[in-house]
Structure 1
């Protein structure tokens, strides 16, 4: 076996061994719970814009993008724009592709910063509800003929909203690509951490993923990703598409 394959085999073994250690997952969840009140994810930026993600998930998305080389990335939830700029920068390195960012309220100061960013050349901003069917039809038109599509759901984290997003945006994803659902970790955290939000342990992205997978056989949870990250906002949220519509 050549050295490259030997290293890959070692990494796979390490991940498999970690996945069997419940105490590691418990420690990771306790760490996430302890840092959440301090808004730990607010501490990081990508090319000058707040990205509001764990560094581990940023690395995971980099690996996915480099591996599948999507032609279009669609993200629901724009916030400060760090994530869409990150995705656009990855596509710039690859040499092709565009990003669509959707948010019900793209605040003016964030729009200004995003639009003047050098990566904006690969970005389209759309303001409106991600579950609005007229808006979704517009996005479907953009996705038609785009090639490989990667979708990231990171807007309203209530069960009903995320489930509707899953039903809609899963239709854009091709076999071999991913539908990534952020903040499934809400299901593993005490509800009091989210008492000012409409989502909680009974209504969150992970409960939506569970409902979605019961009626959709095109996607499977890529457990390797959350098993190797341990610290992630998206346990059970990295969904790999296994067949086309």
Structure 2
């Protein structure tokens, strides 16, 4: 079953996450397909920019607890988005949780409809937003991240825009994106690549410095007793034992 569908219109390649029955959770298979699709777009001279979007009511629920990707595979996917020599634009009309927020932060532009909601839910299942911090920490308001990382609170599209998690939001996400995609189509491909390199230099420095440590942290936390309890509680739709 194909989990990432690809279409193209006037130089813009759209990658559609299509596992709505699993809320587009980041399984090992989905991460592999998306990484490969991005690599293909990066090498194709007919692609000016990439749009990353989704089917269903959820952009991505984060790591698939039944079939999680290896932490280094998730690092590789996030780095692929950041390093791609074409702009990557997220188009969000649904909910985004945990690891899905790493995808948004890795993208160069992220647009959301007012129906979208966001939450860093890791602490509620006994882990931490480790690997996804690689693109998030350099690009998002640090005081806001402290609150939402630590509490797992839900935030709406307007708040996500205010803190830099999302570039812009509106009632109709395609109206929001229309001038963005028009601008990318009018831009010189070589100039886009060099401009993106300028914009992502600090993010890639974070990957170079911190990826190994955060990958190890993620692996350790997901193997912990707290994570087992948190994931079991989530799947059983109950509170974990530490809730007071």
Whether TM-score is above 0.5 comes out as no
TM-score normalised by L of structure 2:
0.31
